[in-house]
Every structure is written in C-alpha cells, then in structure tokens.
Structure 1
Amino acid sequence: MKKRWFSVCVVMLVFMAGAAGAEEAFRIGPGDVLEISVWRDESLSRKVVVPPDGIISFPLIGDIAETRLTVRELRTVLTQKLAEYVPDATVTVMLLEIRSLNAYVIGKVNRPGEYPVSMDTSVMQLLSMAGGLNPFASEKKIHVLRQTDGKTRKIPFNYKEVLKGINLGQNILLQRGDVIVVP
C-alpha cells in the first residue's frame, strides 16, 4: 500500500510540475497584429501591427516598447499610462493575428522554409510540416539553433531515436525563431 501511495504522489508531482511550466504566456513580437480599444472612446481605438523594433505608438502616451510583453501586460501598461488623460479607462488589447511565432527548417528536408508554429509545436511536428527528411539526410546529426540572451545554443536531435521512441526528451517544444538544421 505504501509503494502504491508513493507512486501516486510521484505521478501527481510530475503532473503539477508540467502544468506549472505550461503556464508561460505568449509574448507579443514584431509582425503581430493587435486591436487596442478604449471603451467609449473610438478616437483611442485602433489596429496596430507591431513594427520590427517592437515599439508601438499610441495617442496621448506616445511610444511603448512592447518587447516581450504579454497581451495582459500591455493592457496594464496602456491603462496606467492613459490614466493621466482618461481616468478609469477600460482598455482592451486583442491579439488578432500571430505573425511573429515562426520557426525554420533548413537542409535535407522535402520542403525547407519558414513555418508558423504554436507554443506547443515540437521538433518532430515541424519536420513533418516540412515534408519529412529526404533520403540523403543525416538522421543522427540534426540540431536546433536557438537564440537565448544574445547567444546561439546548439541543441542536438537524433531523429532515429525519437522515431523508435527512445530518448523522447530531445523532441523539445520550439520557440520563436528556432532553426532546425538537417545536414
């Protein structure tokens, strides 16, 4: 009975740890289309395409560096800055189109290129979107290039192992801008 209870506790802890990691919210990026509106003030409502520098302009408050903000965080910033001009403003920010969440596949795949991904797209899923590996691909030497804090990390990926159900942890979730290299 103790072993069974221990097993149940371990499974619950693993589940809770996974759920905590899944709460990461989408961060707005260049190219994304937002609709920003202020209730009862049409002059402050507009559709905005986030420019490459990530700085959006909004009436009354000027420029806002939205870089790495979530929709909720941007709404809070806008509400706080507008409070000086529009007391008790009710600001709504809606993400109309996600254009910044892309990953890339280069090398020996059937359809290399840029692909839109969601926040839970894995390496295998993106390779599938790219039409799979061509016959000349080196299945054991694939890697993912990821930019983190201005540095490029090389993450190894062995297609053959994952296909066989071995070492599945290397089938990581992709992030904005990841590049899968298939030699």
Structure 2
Amino acid sequence: MATRMVVLGQYCRVAACVAALLIMSGCGGRGGDIAYDPASFVAPDAPPLPATTTDYRLGAGDVVSIQVFKVDSLSGDQTIDTAGRVNLALLGPVVAAGRTTAEFEQALERQLGEKYLTAPSIAVTLKSAVQRTVTVDGSVQQPGLYPISAPTSLIKTIAMARGTAEEANPSRVIVFRQIDGQRMAAAFDLKSIRRGESPDPVIYADDIVVVDGSATSKAMKTVIQSLPFVTLFRPF
C-alpha cells in the first residue's frame, strides 16, 4: 500500500507539471515561458526523510546511525554501499538493504551476540534516505518511474524511457525540480544537446522529465482540465 501511494503521488505531481507545460507551450519547436538552460537551475534540495521510518526498507546510499550500547568503537554513522551492505568492525560486511531499521538492529544483535558480546543492545536510526527514482513522462516510448543510483544526464534519462515517441517535440523538454523549497522548471533542447551545441544537463533523483508533443496534450487533456493551473507553480 505504501509503495502504491508513493507511485500515485509521483503521478499526481507529473499531471500537475504537464498541466503547467501545456499552458506555457506552443505547438512545436522552442517556445513558452519556461527558460532554457537557466543558470539558476542547480542541484535539488536534499531529499527529506520518509514521513515514517518504521516500515521503510533501507537501500544503497542511505546513511544509518548505529549505536552499540557501551561499545563506542562499534558505533557511528555508516553509508550503505552499492551492494546493500555496511562494513562493521568485528563483523565485516553485513547486509542492510531490504531491511527495516528494526530488522537490521536484530541482525546486528544476533551476529554480535553469537561471537563477541553478551546480550548486546543496538539502536539503528535512519539519518538520510536516498530517493532513487526519476519520473519520465510526455511523448516518450515508455513513460514511468525509473531507478537511478546516482545523478545522470538528460540523454540517458530519455534513453531509459526507450527514447522519444514519433510525435515528440524534442526541442522542448521540461525538467521539474525542487530547489530552495520551491518547484522549479527549466526547458532543454534535446536536438541541440544531441548535436553537441548545448551541454547535456544533470538529472537528479526525484526530478520529473516531461517531453513535449502532440500525444502529451491528448493523453493528459482530461486529467489537466480540473487542475488549478494558475496556482500550481511559483515562482514562474
């Protein structure tokens, strides 16, 4: 249920972003009120911790704080590596990915108790969680949410969605991002990027990438008619 709610929330934000895109776009080519390649379109805000960490499953890139009661040498912050493990003194690599913090605590207590400590008491807390998806929508072959483990490029992001659709307008690709607490947008010309005339911008986890095109308007028309366009996005 939690996963379904996250996906629903992502697509609600996509619908809102596409609404703004259609309001500010023309019929084809470049255009609209969204600036192209703005210098102010910098890296996004740090992702917030999940609203509740009770059921959150740890993953690569997450940072956890491990406190072993009365054993400071085994305590400290750890970043889960790409293999989903943390490397701890005495124990070596221990799998953390896929477990809740409570399950990870139990695993550590069990392993330390088997060989090294008598009835160890361990507390694991989530310090930072990595958002590992980017949303690609609009006139692409396969719209959806795609996992990314590190920042990537716009070209690679579009490729994850199997490229632009036949009716796409690659001269207007909009990227929506949270910067300084505000939903921001920037336009990019995919044709210009492919020709090497413009730099390939960095795409971060939790970005929403929308490729303009005639199919985008038709597919989203029914959804966006009920959205409050004017108040959705600021400062643009």
Q: TM-score interval w.r.t. the shorter chain? A: 0.5 to 0.7
Check the 8 A contact 1:146/1:177 in 2, yes or no: yes
Equivalent of 1:181 in 210, 220, 235: 210
TM-score when normalising by structure 2: 0.42
Tell me which residue corresponds to 1:121. 152
Shift in Å at residue 28 of structure 1?
A: 7.8
TM-score when normalising by structure 1: 0.53
Higher RCO (Cα < 8 Å, 6 or more apart): 2
Tell me which residue corresponds to 1:157. 188
- Structure 2 distance, partners of 1:28, 1:179, is 14
Match of 1:161, as an amino acid?
S
Structure 1, unpaired ranges of 5+: 1-23, 31-51, 58-68
- Secondary structure of 2:196's aligned partner: coil
Shift in Å at residue 106 of structure 1?
A: 0.5
1:148 aligns with 2:170: no
- Structure 2 distance, partners of 1:140, 1:164, is 12
Relative to structure 1, is the Cα distance of residues 94 and 120 closer, same or farther in structure 2, using a 3 angstrom cutoff? closer
Encode CA deviations 1:25-75: one digit per residue, 9 max, x unaligned.
xx7876xxxxxxxxxxxxxxxxxxxxx315469xxxxxxxxxxx963xx43
- Structure 2 distance, partners of 1:107, 1:137, is 8
Match of 2:70, as an amino acid?
V
Q: What does 1:1-183 correspond to in 2, within 5 Å? A: 52-53=50-51, 55=53, 71=63, 74-75=64-65, 78-79=66-67, 85-91=69-75, 93-95=78-80, 96=84, 97=97, 100-168=131-199, 171-183=200-212
More strand by share: 1
Structure 2, unpaired ranges of 5+: 1-42, 56-60, 85-96, 98-128, 213-236
